[in-house]
Structure formats: structure tokens, C-alpha cells
Amino acid sequence: MFNLKQLLQIISYQENLDTEGFILKETKDDQQKAGKKDQGQAAADSKQRSGAGQQQAGADAQKDDGKVEQQAGKDGQNQVSGGEDEGAADQNKRSRSRRSFRKPVPSSGTSAHRAAEDGEVSASLEENRESIRQLYGLPGNKDVIIRDFTINTVPPVRCFAVFIDGLTDKVVQDLLFQALMAFAGQAAPASGEKLVDLVKDSLMPGNQVSVTASFREFLDGVNYGGTALFLEGCGKVLLVETKGWEHRTVDRPQSEQTINGPQEAFTETLRTNTSLIRKLLKSEQLTTELLTVGCRVRTYVAVMYLRDLANPDLVAEVKRRIEGVKVDYLADSGVLEQFIEDHPYSLNPTTLATERPDRVASKIMEGKVAILVDGSPFVLVVPSTMYEQLHTGEEIYRRWQFGTYVRYLRALSFLASFLLPGLYLSLVLFHHEMLPTELLLAIAGNRERVPFPSIMEVLMMEFALEFIREAGLRVPGVMGTTIGIVGALILGQAAVQANIVSPILVILVSVTGLASFAIPYYSLAFTTRIYRFIYIALGATLGFFGISIGLFIQVLLTSNLKSFGVPYLVPTGPRTSAGADVVTRLPIFFHESRPDYVNPQDATRAPKVSRTWLKRDRGERR
């Protein structure tokens, strides 16, 4: 029969001691609290432990499990007192305080790994081998290869090479081993230091060789496709650059296709990407700084800028933000973008991610900073403005009239992409008087047989379009495109024939979709997709007044954004020197200065007269 005490016990929270074992670190406060509560019990524990000898680290997980841990002693295994009856054990568990969480303690492997990682290379080959075994979890880890061999010096020197299978270039490695095993006929010095120098300077054919005594550097080198060479009697390790993993070759851009201009896109390899930029900007001032992000797995992040152009404060801020990212693993530049952007809660992206090296090169030439993440084919450019995100970079390759025309077309499509359905709903629901009678009758006639209210019609079609868009991306290859076209056509026509939507709405939603596709920056297009639904709701509830509420709030929020300290809507909000390349793309010879909002070290892009031949011609004119 339940009494009050039992009832309270049932309804009060009790820790599930079987599963709550993942508190990684105990704070000092916890320790103090626990210390007071468990004083008596701890004393009992300590007595039992004192005779138990050294415990195996894996068994430490049960150390705090207040229940008596009986040490088998002889074989080092722990045994939980099995003879106790379960009822007593449960009672004991209930009486335990918060202190009695089962804390996972780093395994002996982890602590030894840390020690080895922070340690230095030994002169003994066997000790080094043991350290490497601990570091890489050998022999279980089959990717890591330790290749023993002898260098053909006089006298021969024992050594071993360490590398990760699949990350290295076998041809380069063959050359390396050949040179050391077959062609090294020189006398080996007795001193380890001199031996390392001899191998590095005279025997090793690699193009990038470094010497280190740190296991951390050794790990970084080998994990990044290098081959490490340990020599007998030498407390240093030689790291040879032998990268050669499988990778995608430089291809055409997938999401930023252009007709004019270069047709190369970045790949997933950091060094390929830096070289693609350097190939376009052949300048000694172009600087690539390498940073690492990630506590558990280190990812290289390259920061590229022109030393004599980029604002040093901007470069310092970019580096400060990247260095300030504390995460176990950085998967992509998109992840880094979310860590370093100014306004993570805003819909608008405040960095520019591009897969085109020519675009990055042109931005670097404006004094901006490029951020490349190893493994990502998208490069971030900061700071970025909204106008810039509506450019493709291609406009500059065309004649200015075409570029300007396309820009205005794109500006229109930008507005249409989020406003059109909301405006339509406002018109048909609130402001019919605006529509000429013929058009009004046509819309009414089409809607006559549709049983749904206009808002439902719009939402159904919009969601259908979103489904097609998402499905088109996920369905593989050619089928994706087919689904996109067929889906849109069949779905639209069938919906009209089934009297689910009116034909005019199909046209409207299609135009909205097309307008959305005309926005060149994917993240910005995504932003408008979400804004569109907000405007649909506002237009359907308050008509044009609702639309103006949305516009006002959107303008306020957008004008409040900053990208690395630069206002997002510059040069119109705030007003700064507009330059020749905002919406109207002026003739190329008017592009005399760089955007002043970046505060570049040199604002002049070209002299006042950049077509000097014209001047000469004038002089010679008859």
C-alpha cells in the first residue's frame, strides 16, 4: 500500500544510474559537494582500495560507483560484489548522492596517447616504434604502414618509414626508397645529428623535407600525406612531402555556371585551390597563411590576401575569428562560415561562398580576404555585401551594356522572387479595384471551379515547387533534371485540370521560381525562398499593408547587418562612394577605384586615363 513517502519517491526525479555515465569533467564545486556527502563512504572505499594494488585504468570507471568494488587483486580484474542481493543493492543505489555518477575516465590508451603526442622523438628506434604504435593504435589500425629498411651507407643504418596507405604518392615513395636503399653509398657519420643532415641534404630526393623532434609535428605531417623517416641513433624524424591521395580534378563550376570568363572551379584539395588562385594572381604580394581548426581532427584553413592591398585590421580580424573557433572537427567552409559570421540569426548570408577562382581573385584584388578550408570546394570571401551577392562576376567579362542590363534584370528577379505571390494574394483578396475589369473577370473565371481559398492554392503550389526543387537536387544525375521539368509541367497541368489551382497561379508560381533561380548566390536565393512564405502570410492577412510591414522590417533588419564590420547594404545604406560597379555596371575604364568600404591600402585601381592609346590618338588626330 502506498504511503506518502513512497508516493514522493515515485514522483521525484531519480537519476538513472545505468545510463547517465557521460559527464566528462567534474568541476571543483562538484568535487567539494561530493566530498562532503561521501566522506564516510569514501573512507570505506579507501580502506578497501588500499589493499587492492594498482588498478587497471579501464576499471577506474567503476571507482566512483559507491558500491563496494572488490579487487580480485591477482589478475587485476574488478568484480562487483556478486553475492549481494538485488534489493539491498537497489536500496544502496537510491541512498546514493549525486556524487555517485559513473564517470568515464580517460582510458589508459588516451592518456598514454596524449603523453606520446606531446613527447619528443627518441634516439632508439624501438622506443619510437612503441610510441607510434600507441599514437596510431597499431597493429589494429591497418591504414598506417611502418616500413623497416636499411640505408645503404657505410656502415648501413637501420631505419623505418611511417606513412598512411592511400594518402601518399607511391611513385614518389618508390623513388625515395630506391635512393636510400640502393644508391646511398656514402660513409655514415657516427653522430645522429650529422646523419640526419646527410640523409636530408644528400640522400633524400623529396622536394619538401623537414626535420623535427616533435611527435605532434610528425603526426601532422603523416596525417597530411607525408612520409616520416626514423633513423637508428637519431632523436629526430625526417618528414618528406609525399601527398598523393585520390581527388577530384579541376572541373567546370557546378552551381555558378557562366558563359564568358574562366571555366575552372575549386576542388576539395586545399593546395589545388590555393594554386588555382595563385595561377590567376601571379604576385609575390599574394600571401597564404595556414591556420588549423579542430581540437580532435585538425583541418587546415588558408587565409589568402594581397599583402600590399588588404586592410591589415581586416586580415587580423579574420585570423582572430578563425583562431577563436573551438570545435572538434571542421567539415566544410559552410561550417566555418557559421562560426565566423557577424549575424548567425539573420536569414541573409554575410559572407560570399564561391567555387570560382576568378571570382575570388577579383575579390582579393579589391582588398578582400579569401578563406579556404581543406576539403571544401567553396571559398569564403569577406567582407561581403548584398549587391555583391547579386553579381556573378561574369558581367565584367561582357560589354558594360550587357552587364548592366543583366544586373537590372536580376534586381527585378530578386524582388519578384519573394514578393510576387504575396502581391498576388493582396490583389485578389484586398485590392480588386486595382485590376482592370477584363483581367479581374479572367481571374475570377479561372478561380470559379477551384474549391480552395486563394491562400491554399498559393501554398499548395509553392510547396509543390519546393518539393520539386528539393527532389531535383537529390535525385541522381539526368533524372534530377527530368523530374524538375516533367514534375513542374505535369503537376501544373494536372492541378489545373483537376480544378485544384487556377492556371494564372501556375504561371505566377513558375515565374516566381524562375526569378528565384536567377539569383546567382545560392544562400541568398535560399533567403528569398523563406521570405516568400512570410510575404504570403502578410499579403493574405493584411494586403498591401501587410506587404509594407514585411518590407519595412526586412529593410530594417537587412540594413542593420554587418559583414566583418562592413555594413551589408553598403554603398547605399550607409551611403558611401558608389563606384562603378554596384547595380549599373559602368564602362570598364571608369573602374578607377576599389570599393572604399573595405578601406584598402591602395584605393586606386587604375589611373584617371586608363586608355592611354586614346590620348595618343587624339594627339595624332589629323
Binding site for other proteins (CB under 8 A): 430-431, 433-434, 436, 542-545, 547-549, 551-553, 555-557, 559-560, 567, 569, 572-575
Contact call for residues 511 and 416 (beta carbons, < 8 A): yes
Closest CB to other proteins among 104 and 574?
Answer: 574
Tell me the C-alpha distance between 159 and 179, whole Å: 14
Q: Pick the closer one to other proteins by CB: 487 or 579.
A: 579
Q: Considering the complex, state which of residue 72 and residue 444 has its C-beta at the smaller distance from other proteins.
A: 444
CB 309 within 8 A of CB 367: yes
Minimum CB distance to other proteins smaller for 357 or for 422: 422
Of 380, 396, 359, 395, the closest CA to residue 280 belongs to 359
Round to whole Å and give the CA distance between 602 and 366. Answer: 9
Minimum distance between the CB of residue 598 and other proteins, rounded to whole angstroms?
18
CB 52 within 8 A of CB 77: no
Rounded to a whole number of angstroms, the minimum distance from the CB of residue 583 to other proteins is 12
CB nearer other proteins, residue 73 or residue 574: 574
- Minimum distance, C-beta of residue 545 to other proteins, in the bound complex (Å): 5
Q: Tell the smallest beta-carbon distance from residue 454 to other proteins (Å).
A: 17
CB of 172 to other proteins, least distance (A): 56
Mention every residue, 6+ apart, whose C-beta is less than 8 A from residue 278: 286, 288
| Closest CB to other proteins among residues 137, 574 | 574
Nearer to other proteins, 315 or 386 (CB): 386
Closer by beta carbon to other proteins, 244 or else 573: 573
Q: How many CA atoms within 13 Å lie on the side-chain side of 521? A: 28
Of 485 and 553, CB closest to other proteins: 553
Helix (H) and strand (E) counts in the chain = 21, 14
Q: Are 319 and 291 in contact (CB under 8 A)?
A: yes
305 touches 315 (CB < 8 A): yes
Give CA–CA dist 254/62, Å, rounded. 54
**Rounded to the nearest whole angstrom, what is the least distance from the CB of residue 574 to other proteins in the complex?**
6
Distance CA 423, CA 445 (A): 20
CA distance 248 to 512: 35
Taking the C-alpha atoms of residue 61 and residue 12, their distance in angstroms, rounded to an integer, is: 27
Least Å distance, CB 468 to other proteins, is 31
Minimum CB–partner distance for residue 412 and other proteins (Å): 14
Q: Are 265 and 252 in contact (CB under 8 A)?
A: yes
Are 588 and 398 in contact by the 8 Å Cβ rule? The answer is no
DSSP 200: I
Q: How far is the CB of 452 from other proteins (least distance, A)?
A: 22
**Cβ(289)–Cβ(425) under 8 Å?**
no
- Taking the C-alpha atoms of residue 371 and residue 512, their distance in angstroms, rounded to an integer, is 33
